[in-house]
């Protein structure tokens, strides 16, 4: 429905000359309310926190982080876990817990050696063996 200017009774137009239209409400399609809830969620923003996070990410992705991953993979996962805890994302606590579990699994010297070789780009000749998961058996093969 065209919007009519109450001052002169003519159709209203925008700055570009387009006729203004408004939807026509049908009976039973609108609702009235007098009570409503307002929810305000505050988020603290701190430049120092962001600078610290950026520095930590730079260190972890730089040469120091690469050396740590090569020399002490368990330590690298622990530091990654701590870095993840500082992020305020929805899944940060769960990801941090997974990284911490991975660090604990690397307490086995053989697992730590394999992780160190992988961090250096070396491929192990033997297949890594998961302690808890196995590949599914292919049922399509005859």
The pLDDT tens digits of the residues spanning 49-107 come to: 778 778 888 888 888 888 888 888 888 888 888 888 877 788 888 988 998 998 888 87
Assess whether pLDDT exceeds 70 at residue 129: no
3-state helix, strand, coil in the chain (%, to 5): 45, 5, 50
Q: Where are the domains of the chain?
A: 47-119
pTM over 0.75: no
Q: Say what the pLDDT of residue 136 is.
A: 59
| pLDDT tens digit sequence for 7-41 | 998 888 889 988 888 877 777 777 677 777 777 77
Contact 80, 99 (CB under 8 A): yes
pLDDT at 132: 58
């Amino acid at each position: 429905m065209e919007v009519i200017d109450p001052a002169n009774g003519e159709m209203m137009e925008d700055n570009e000359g387009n006729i203004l239209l408004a939807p026509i409400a049908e009976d039973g399609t609108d609702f009235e309310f007098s009570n409503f809830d307002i929810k305000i969620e505050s988020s603290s923003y701190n430049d120092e926190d962001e600078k610290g996070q950026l520095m930590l990410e730079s260190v972890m992705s730089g040469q120091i982080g690469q050396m740590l991953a090569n020399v002490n993979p368990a330590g690298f996962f622990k530091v990654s876990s701590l870095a993840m805890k500082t992020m305020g994302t929805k899944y940060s606590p769960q990801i941090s817990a997974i990284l911490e579990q991975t660090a604990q699994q690397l307490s086995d010297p053989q697992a730590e050696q394999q992780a160190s070789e992988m961090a250096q780009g070396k491929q192990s000749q033997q297949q890594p063996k998961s302690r808890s998961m196995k590949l599914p058996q292919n049922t399509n093969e005859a």
